[in-house]
């Protein structure tokens, strides 16, 4: 078990890193200066007066994550956010993909394209409800979680949220997706497509849970955007638009 002093030094060292990286001059060599700071703090406790408290570290990281998730949700929920983004575009369900090209060349192109578009519009509409769910997950972040995220890779925060919140997010998101599916006409478009004899012969005996399919694809898209935003903040100093972002995601 770590002594109280060891825990204090560990917290102070993390805080000193965030403080160091918040200044414009902390470009290149930041990691070396941080290691020197750790050594100095271990030898002389008078340096601890300049370190950040756990509460300040937590607030900085949580605020940074809030900004990042808000941006990702705004991108996903915008018009064409899923439909026009090849990275998160929702394709036809697997059991229809194999006949999509045949259908498009046998007079059913409009039906296929309409159905695929409604899947993406449902995801865009559902994404507008995601921010409060992510916000609660950020509020529940512990100091130990924050340290793990800080020490992790380019998508450590995204991976943390995916691992910890996928199931509760899915359960909260599915009724939202179900409503969106009805509003944008996914079911109607699907029925119009699957009533074709050619399609019926191919998909006979299979069952597509549209709500589940769109929910999973929507969450996959949101987490992809979260990961992209996190990478920008970690790697691109220009993306750290506030002191909080510079403190939480400064160079290691």
The answer to whether residue 208 sits within a structural domain is yes
The answer to whether residue 250 sits within a structural domain is no
106 and 38 share one domain: no
Judge whether 177 and 218 are in contact, CB under 8 Å: yes
88 and 179 share one domain: yes
47 and 81 share one domain: no
Report the C-alpha gap between 138 and 4 in whole angstroms.
Answer: 27
33 and 86 share one domain: no
The answer to whether residue 251 sits within a structural domain is no
List the one residue out of 115, 123, 131, 136 whose CA is nearest residue 78.
Answer: 123
**Mean pLDDT for the stretch of residues 104-108:** 80
- Greatest Cα pair distance in the chain: 80
Give, in degrees to the nearest 5, the angle at Cα 19 between 18 and 25: 105
Is pLDDT above 80 for 109? yes
The answer to whether residue 249 sits within a structural domain is no
Question: Which residues lie closer than 8 Å to 206 by C-beta, 6 or more apart?
Answer: 95
What residue numbers bound the domain in which 31 lies? 1-52
The answer to whether residue 252 sits within a structural domain is no
The answer to whether residue 191 sits within a structural domain is yes
164 and 201 share one domain: yes
Give tens-digit pLDDT for 220-234.
999 999 999 888 777
Q: How many structural domains does the chain have?
A: 2
**What is the predicted pLDDT for the residue at 214?**
92
Give tens-digit pLDDT for 31-88.
344 334 434 444 443 333 334 567 777 777 788 788 889 999 999 999 999 999 999 9
Higher pLDDT, 107 or 40: 107
110 and 8 share one domain: no
**Mean pLDDT for the stretch of residues 115-144:** 88
State pTM to two decimals.
0.71
32 and 156 share one domain: no
171 and 127 share one domain: yes
The answer to whether residue 100 sits within a structural domain is yes
7 and 102 share one domain: no
46 and 67 share one domain: no
CA-CA-CA-CA dihedral for 195, 197, 201, 205, to nearest 10: 20
Question: Which residues lie closer than 8 Å to 40 by C-beta, 6 or more apart?
Answer: 47
100 and 155 share one domain: yes
The answer to whether residue 198 sits within a structural domain is yes
137 and 223 share one domain: yes
Report the C-alpha gap between 181 and 187 in whole angstroms.
Answer: 7
């Amino acid at each position: 078990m770590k002594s109280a002093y060891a825990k204090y030094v560990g917290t102070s060292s993390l805080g000193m890193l965030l403080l160091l990286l918040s200044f414009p001059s902390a470009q290149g060599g930041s990691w070396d200066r941080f290691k020197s700071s750790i050594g100095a703090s271990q030898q002389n406790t008078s340096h601890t007066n300049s370190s950040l408290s756990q509460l300040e570290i937590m607030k900085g990281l949580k605020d940074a994550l809030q900004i990042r998730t808000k941006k990702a949700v705004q991108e996903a929920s915008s018009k064409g956010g899923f439909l026009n983004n090849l990275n998160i575009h929702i394709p036809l369900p697997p059991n229809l993909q194999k006949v999509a090209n045949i259908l498009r060349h046998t007079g059913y192109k409009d039906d296929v394209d309409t159905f695929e578009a409604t899947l993406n519009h449902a995801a865009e509409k559902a994404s507008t409800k995601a921010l409060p769910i992510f916000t609660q997950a950020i509020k529940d972040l512990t100091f130990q979680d924050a340290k793990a995220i800080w020490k992790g890779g380019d998508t450590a925060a995204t991976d943390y949220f995916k691992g910890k919140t996928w199931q509760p997010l899915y359960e909260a998101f599915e009724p939202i997706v179900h409503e969106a599916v009805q509003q944008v006409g996914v079911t109607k478009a699907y029925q119009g497509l699957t009533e074709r004899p050619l399609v019926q012969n191919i998909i006979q005996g299979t069952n597509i849970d549209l709500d589940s399919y769109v929910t999973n694809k929507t969450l996959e898209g949101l987490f992809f955007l979260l990961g992209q935003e996190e990478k920008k903040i970690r790697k691109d100093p220009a993306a750290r638009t506030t002191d909080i972002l510079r403190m939480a995601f400064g160079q290691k």
